[in-house]
Amino acid sequence: MAIAIAKAFPTMMCVVLDLPNIIGECKKINNESNLKFIGGSMFDEIPHANAILLKCILHDWSDNDCVKILKKCKESIPSKHKVGNLIIIDTVMEEGLDKLISDEFDKAKNFMDVMMMTLYVAKERTKKEWEKLFDEAGFNEYKMTPLGLRSLIEV
């Protein structure tokens, strides 16, 4: 995804942060001059950026860890001119049982939810649960756009 973004916006500098063992492999496939790969942990420090994209990241983590990650994002985006953006692509669960079983997307979301609970100490979240995380991390505005299985959340 980072390669596609770097190609589409050649004047924008892009950075991918992932664990050092993962980054080693990624570097081998990157030919974009505006794309850098940095090895590290998002729990320690996230490189400064005008915008941060977390795609399918937060559903891997508990509420406590998500708040830690979101606070690290807040530290890394500039607040001085209020130009920073945090962009999340992740699942937003529907509330209410009737809706939960109503279509293929909802069935897939439920399946993912059970998988995240059993594989990790994690889960898929409802709108209210996302709101609580943003609030605890000190963010006060967000916009959710459903995209089917996943949603785009601008914070």
**Catalytic residue positions, numbered:** 59
Helix, coil or strand: residue 151: strand
Q: Which residue has the tokens 């979240």?
A: 125
CB of 36 within 8 A of CB of 14? yes
Instruction: Kindly state the smallest distance separating residue 66's Cβ from ligand SAM, in Å.
Output: 12
Question: 62 to 91, contacts with ligand SAM by CB under 6 A?
Answer: none
CB of 28 within 8 A of CB of 47? no
Instruction: Kindly state the smallest distance separating residue 147's Cβ from ligand SAM, in Å.
Output: 13
Sign for the pseudo-dihedral over CA of 137, 138, 144, 147: negative
| Residue 57 touches ligand SAM, criterion: CB under 6 A | yes
Instruction: Kindly state the smallest distance separating residue 50's Cβ from ligand SAM, in Å.
Output: 19
> Which residues have CB under 8 Å from 75's CB, separation 6+?
46
Among 7, 9, 20, 22, binds ligand SAM (CB under 6 A): 22
| Residue 19 touches ligand SAM, criterion: CB under 6 A | yes
State both tokens at 66: 């998500």
| Residue 55 touches ligand SAM, criterion: CB under 6 A | yes
Query: Which of 104, 120, 102 has its CA nearest to residue 56?
Result: 120
Interacting span for ligand SAM (CB under 6 A) from 13-21, 74-82, 99-107, 129-137: 13-21
Instruction: Kindly state the smallest distance separating residue 102's Cβ from ligand SAM, in Å.
Output: 26
Pattern 109-128, binding to ligand SAM, x per CB under 6 A?
--------------------
Let me know the angle formed at the C-alpha of 61 by 115 and 38, rounded to the nearest 5 degrees: 115
Binding site for ligand SAM (CB under 6 A): 17-19, 22, 41-43, 55-57, 60
